[in-house]
Amino acid sequence: MITFAVLAVVLVIGALGVVLLRQPVHAALSLVGTLLTLAVVFVTLEAHFLAAIQVIVYGGAIMVLFLFVIMLLNLQEEATKTRAAYRWIAYVVGVVAAAAIATGALLDPRQAPDALAVSDALRGGSPELIAQVLFGEFMLAFQLVGVLLLTAMVGAVALVQRQAETPGAR
């Protein structure tokens, strides 16, 4: 339990870094650290396959895509400046959401499942079990995530192309 608490603190710090860091590359590196820490959580739960997939797919492929888009957009210093009102609204919404999550977690009468129940649910994170769930009941969600990523990449390329064609654009 102590290991999980330490890893949870590291995960929350990494997630805060993703949201609060001003430089997009620094935020992306914070996301990499968060994803790798999540892989360590999977290892502590003895779900080694899930940990490997977490590192390979998210820590590798998805982060390369994010960094590619960041470099493709060539974000300038002006793009990171936001209006002060929007920043304060975001802070208020974040605090309210965190309070709602903490209240829900603390007031929930159910206790955390024991180690045997977690082990039975994960079954070591076997590829067969993951494939049955992913390509069974969650097939539509899996396909929609792929379409969403493709749409985001095409949108980023379209924005860059439009800026390049505009006279006087950098």
pLDDT value of residue 84: 66
Give the CATH number of domain 2-134.
1.20.120.1200
Secondary structure of 110-167 in HEC code, one letter for each residue: CCCCCHHHHHHHHHHHCHHHHHHHHCCCCHHHHHHHHHHHHHHHHHHHHHHHHHHHCC
Averaged confidence pLDDT in the chain: 78
Mean pLDDT of 10-21: 90
Q: Give the model confidence (pLDDT) of 81-131 as tens digits.
A: 556 667 778 788 888 988 888 888 788 777 666 767 666 666 666 777 777
Residue spans of the domains in the chain: they are 2-134
pLDDT value of residue 107: 81
Q: Give the model confidence (pLDDT) of 30-42 as tens digits.
A: 888 999 999 999 8
